[in-house]
Chains A and B, each alone.
Chain A
Amino acid sequence: MKKGSFGHYLLMRVLLSIPMLLILLTLVFVLLHAAPGDPVTATLGSRLPPDQIAARKEALGLNDPIYIQYFRYIGHALEGDFGHPITDSRSVGQIIEDTAPATLELVIAAMIVAVLVGISVGALAARLRDTAFDLGGRFFGILIYATPLFWSALLAQLYLSADLHWLPSSGRIGGFYVPEHITGFYTIDSILTGNWPALWSTLSHLALPAITLGLLVGGVFVRLVRVNMLQTLRSDYIDAARARGISERSVVYRHAFKNALIPVITIMGLQFALLIGNATLSETVFSWPGMARALVLFIGARDYAAVQGIVTFIALAIVVLSLLIDVINALIDPRVRY
């Protein structure tokens, strides 16, 4: 394959993500095996007689030497087998299948809010530098960042749902409307089946969690886009474009904007991690039946096996995500491929 071609870049990038994946998985394994005792005793120790515990341990392979457990874990993870919880009859894979679409739907909706707010406010603030709008935008960014998500979510829930009855306060959809299961994303499923009441119910349930979560990350984007735009607007090629008589509008939106957004895309990838982390709070406040809430509940039950399975899945998702972001970057920026 030709060096510098997109295919070559893709291949190198995929090869590079293998060590990252292995190290992440190893970290997860080490972390979750660092605690003394075994997961079965930790979870069920006080509730089951010793012989049953021993049987469970044998069944889960916990009596094998640690390195065998390690290799088995890595092998299973790479096959997409995330193990079995101790406190739930479903497999972790099944739980993820049930809950991941809810989390993804929330996170993507929040990301859309964040990108819309962040890019428009950030770019405008940079263009109107040192005006009231710029200062207001900066302060808005700081304030949004400083507000704990669970607190603003709680206040929004209290005011917009309990007081004004504008939006539902919890859950993912009204109980009667659940659309036929195709992708697990209620928005997509209801559109595919033409089920408009279900779509309306889904969107109204999605609004509060997505906006509160999205604004939080949007605050980060506002700053980021502003700073990048300011730096780009000072660059030599912008100066040269102005010297050619290009209109200020074109200079800002054609020349500066695209260049300023490249680093933002990279950081957007990292912000997905922030979104997934903060989804634990959103899902808890809004009783959103997602994966982050499932993780919190399993941690509450001290179910090591389930926690390990879900965290492994998150690790895999992150590797895939960072790969995706880099690929998008390479598609936009011709310099990256070299």
Chain B
Amino acid sequence: MSDSTLSKQAETASGYGYFRARMRHYAKPFRQASRTSRWLVFAGLGILIFFTLVAAVGPELYGFGATQYRVETAPGQFQQIPQLAPPSATHPMGTTRDGFDVMARVIGGAKLALIVMGLAVSVAMLIGVSLGLASGYRGGPIDRILVTVMDSVYAFPPLVLAIIISFILGAFISPGVFSAAFAVGVVYIPQYFRVVRNQTLAVKQETFVEAAQSLGAKSRSILTRYVFFNVVHTVPVLLTLNAADAILTLAALGFLGYGVQPPTPEWGYDISQAITDVSSGIWWTAFWPGVAIVTLVTGITLVGEGVNDVVNPLLRARGASGPRLPRRQKKPRKGADVEDDSYAVSVRDLRVGYRTPKRPLWAVDGVDFDIRYGESLGLVGESGCGKSTLGRALMQLLAPGCRAYGSVRLGGEELIGQSERRLRQKRGDDVAMIFQEPMTRLNPLMRIGDHFVEMIRTHRSKISRKQARAMARDVLSQMGVPPSRIDNYAHELSGGMRQRVMIALGIVLNPKLLIADEPTTSLDVIVESQILDTIAALLGNKSAGLLMITHNLGIVAETCDRVAVMYAGRIVESGPVDAIFNDPKHPYTRGLLASTVSLETTTLHSIPGYPPDLLDPPSGCRFAERCPYAMAHCTEADPALTDVGPSQSAACFLYPGAGQDVPAGLTPPSGNPQVVGI
């Protein structure tokens, strides 16, 4: 464990440190959010603060009152304010039909709008949250009735509901701030209710609550605390949405005459009073209150959008921040070593970089390998070592903000630097990929057959729909899927069946290279071995190469001819399956093999430590920190891949040729690590 993690833990132990850590935890998404999102929040907050200031001190500072129609020129002497005066130095926004100063009314309206907004949203949140907690906690018929009531209220036209509530409240109390706030706020109750109730229900079913209950803890307080932490991300977004809506609803109520008691300044009411002015060419009485509404609501919405961007990572701008990646050589590089097309794929010095805020992250950092037709290469390594990125780079299907360098020759044709159009022709036709989770890889709204027809006709425009369907039936039955399933939807198939469909989709056009990225991880063992047999059988006619990406060495032993072991973005050892399994050379490979469980396993071994941070890779051998054989110069120089046996190579200084002499007296390890231990 590194020092910084330790000090962080020490910090969280103290009360203040805990607070700081929590704050940092909540501020983190904000810091990670895109510049646009942050800008949105700041612009919105600026507007909101401006209006709050205007509402708080405006009425005191401004020379006219909102309902003042005369000015005292001398003690006891009053002069009427001119009616419908256009904007001037004394009345910057003009005056109304009643001789009120428009700016004073706009300022007064801001105060009312903000008070009603605050009250309405608080009332809705208070009622919604407490009802939601109670309903979710109690359950039973009360819960069901409340849910239906809330759904019904939610489905009702919100403005009509607000009008009716204010109409009914009018029978009890005279229209004022409270009745307006209540009429406006009732509409929002169901939203809070729903969020909190669903969370309460979810938390209640957690076992830790039951455990705490059985220990006699106050389950209610546990419940409240967990629900709070779960809804703390949703409620701020709801709050801002509702706050913006509250301003608009209040104005609409005022416009229809159901807001607060006139002549209280209220933007909507003022606009309704200005209708007659508008038709006689007087614009200022209606214009300014409207501008106030638009600005304030825009401000609140901007805050909401920004907050939403921050708490909902899906909406964040694509990860294209930070320094740009280096440019690529313009022309596809001529293959230095491999000119002939006897290889399905030939990879040279492949590097794949991701843009990150400070410097590029090289997920794949200089990789070479070849796969012949009919050959299968297993690519193994821990999660995060770059093997999936490598697989995607082989079809140039990279995430935004990610770029590949070097050379990938598919059937002799260079792919790096190739046009997107040409790459699209290659994908699916010459190179196909089988993904990890078959459950989500088929379009849920398309029948199985349509996936085939679409793909076949994209690449072979001459093939008719009917022929394409026939091809689909053939390849499906070859994969062990009844051809009648062609008109099913994905959700009607089992996981194993879907993976067979995915493989069928992959091979229907006879690609030169098949990439299988953890194809059986989400399947059970029996289906796994069936699928692996199917994949292995595909290579029989020598028309395609296979790259099997996996962390499972058993799968490699079962299906592959050769293995490449990847560590921290590089291949550290490669060779025939037999050689790698029986006589691994690189200490990482040895560790990896020793940590697999088999029937002969007596003690479970694990490699101590963690892979290095790829943002800041160590200067020497990347495995040196965890290597039991590490020597002094291992942390200084970078070992190159060298031959360590017949067609077996490893990047390690333990073997001559890696760039350093092996120290006298040190015998490189050999033999099966599971049998002899490393």
Contacts and interface: CB of A to CB of B under 8 A. Distances in A.
Interface stretch (B132-140, B271-279, B615-623): B271-279
B271 A151 contact: yes
Contacts of A280: 159-160, 163, 252, 256
Interface in B398-426: 424-426
Contacts of A284: 255-256
Interface stretch (A44-52, A81-89, A253-261): A253-261
Interface in B123-167: 145, 148-149, 151-161, 163-165, 167
A240 B172 CA distance: 62
A198 interface: no
B443 A259 contact: yes
A55 to B, nearest CB: 23
B432 A281 contact: no
A191 interface: no
Interface in B454-470: 454-455, 458-459
B286 interface: yes
A245 B157 contact: no
Interface stretch (B207-215, B310-318, B356-364): B310-318
A246 interface: yes
A241 interface: yes
B286 A230 contact: no
B328 interface: no
A274 interface: yes
Given A35-B168, A240-B435, A245-B458, A281 B440 contact: no
A284 B505 CA distance: 59
Contacts of A338: 491
Contact of B298 (A142, A318, A335): A142
A71 interface: no
Interface string B418-453: 000000111111001101010011111110000000
Contact of B149 (A23, A237, A296, A311): A23
A143 B295 CA distance: 9
Nearest to B441: A240
Contact of B159 (A135, A241, A245, A281): A281
Interface in A274-309: 274, 276-278, 280-281, 284, 292, 295-296, 299-300, 302, 307
Contact of B268 (A20, A27, A148, A158): A148
A276 B489 CA distance: 37
B251 A148 contact: yes
Contacts of B305: 138, 142
Q: Which of A135, A244, A334 has the most CB of B within 10 A?
A: A244
User: Interface majority SS on B: helix, strand, loop or mixed?
Assistant: helix
Nearest to B444: A335
Interface in A138-159: 138, 142-143, 145-151, 154-155, 157-158
Contact of B148 (A23, A146, A250): A23
Contacts of A245: 424-429, 455, 458-459
Nearest to B291: A151
B527 interface: no
Nearest to A238: B443
A135 B36 CA distance: 9
A106 interface: no
Given A35-B171, A299-B167, A278 B159 contact: yes
A130 B317 contact: yes
B516 interface: no
A199 B248 CA distance: 34
B302 interface: yes
Nearest to B489: A334
B258 interface: yes
Contacts of A335: 444, 489, 491
A299 B258 contact: yes
A20 B426 CA distance: 54
A65 interface: no
Contacts of B275: 154
Given A227-B315, A334-B489, A276 B286 contact: no
Contacts of A274: 157-159
A12 to B, nearest CB: 16
A142 B303 CA distance: 11
Contacts of B199: none
B157 A235 contact: no
Contacts of B217: none
Contacts of B445: 258-259, 332-334
Interface string B277-315: 011000100100110011101100110010000000011
B298 A143 contact: yes
Contacts of B444: 237, 259, 333-335
A334 B426 CA distance: 32
A307 B160 contact: no
B14 to A, nearest CB: 41
B237 interface: no
Interface residues of B, number: 79
A49 B553 CA distance: 96
Interface string A13-39: 000000110011001000110111100
B286 A151 contact: yes
Nearest to A226: B315
A278 B163 CA distance: 11
Nearest to A299: B167
A37 B171 contact: yes
A246 B454 contact: yes
A237 B293 contact: no
Given A35-B168, A273-B158, A130 B318 contact: yes
A37 B148 CA distance: 29
B155 A273 contact: yes
A282 to B, nearest CB: 11
Nearest to A284: B256
A148 B152 contact: no
Given A250-B454, A274-B157, A146 B301 contact: yes
Nearest to A335: B491
B443 A255 contact: yes
A259 B294 CA distance: 34
A254 B454 contact: yes
B157 A314 contact: yes
A230 B442 contact: no
Contacts of B437: 236
B611 interface: no
Contacts of A31: 164-165, 168
Given A145-B297, A158-B279, A243 B256 contact: no
B118 interface: no
A300 B257 CA distance: 9
A160 to B, nearest CB: 13
Contacts of A299: 163-164, 167, 258
B294 A270 contact: no
A154 B440 CA distance: 50
B471 to A, nearest CB: 14
Contacts of B152: 20, 23-24, 27, 315
B664 to A, nearest CB: 52
A31 B674 CA distance: 77
Nearest to B492: A334
Q: Which of B157, B433, B443, B459 has the most CB of A within 10 A?
A: B157
Contacts of A246: 424, 428, 454-455, 458
17 contacts: A129-B317, A146-B244, A146-B295, A148-B255, A148-B294, A157-B278, A162-B279, A244-B427, A244-B432, A270-B154, A281-B159, A295-B163, A299-B167, A300-B257, A302-B167, A314-B156, A338-B491
Given A230-B314, A244-B432, A244-B458, 15 more contacts: A31-B168, A34-B168, A130-B36, A146-B301, A147-B293, A148-B294, A151-B289, A154-B286, A162-B279, A239-B441, A243-B435, A244-B428, A246-B424, A248-B424, A277-B157
Interface of A: 19-20, 23-24, 27, 31-32, 34-37, 42, 129-130, 135, 138, 142-143, 145-151, 154-155, 157-158, 162, 227, 230-231, 234-237, 239-248, 250, 254-255, 258-259, 270, 273-274, 276-278, 280-281, 284, 292, 295-296, 299-300, 302, 307, 311, 314-315, 318, 322, 332-335, 338
